[in-house]
Amino acid sequence: MNGGPDMGIFDRLFDGKKKQKPAKDKEITQPKTKPDKTAKELATDQGEPYVSIVKMDINSENLHEGSFELDWNSIFVTRLVKAGYMMRPDDTDADIVDRWFQNVCRNVVMETWEQEQAMNPQARFTQSRDLGDGRREVS
């Protein structure tokens, strides 16, 4: 057959040549790659401290109570030890990180309280008393 009008499409494509088996669908495979590193692994690889809040729970019965779950690397703990958060030789990493986290929470509360006091007009009220000789007592 030489490509006449009565040729089928298959015949036109192969022009009478040896019929080829249809190609099997090739599976497309992605090259195997390592899963992406976590932020903790990246920080550790770079020699940087890492700490993160993994989870926070609130007591539904008492909204004033709750807890945090933290994750950290050893570099972070080492920095805390150098900063004085290790109180006893048998402190665990969790003890050291907990002590730091309590300090952070305490500072947040104090900062909030100080801001509220600064905004309270009654807290800014001062009294002045004349002591004589051009001196005054202000409280």
132 torsion bin: left (phi>0), alpha (psi -120 to 50), beta (else): left
Digit-coded pLDDT (tens) for 33-70:
677 999 999 999 999 999 999 999 999 999 989 999 99
β-pairing verdict for 135-138 and 51-58: unpaired
| Predicted model pTM | 0.59
pLDDT, position 136:
84
**What is the C-alpha to C-alpha distance for residues 71 and 33, in angstroms, rounded to an integer?**
26
- Give the residue from 29, 8, 27 showing the smallest Cα distance to 19: 8
Digit-coded pLDDT (tens) for 4-19:
555 555 555 555 555 5
Give the CA distances from residue 8 to residues 4, 5, 18, 58, in Å, rounded to whole numbers and listed in that order.
9, 8, 15, 73
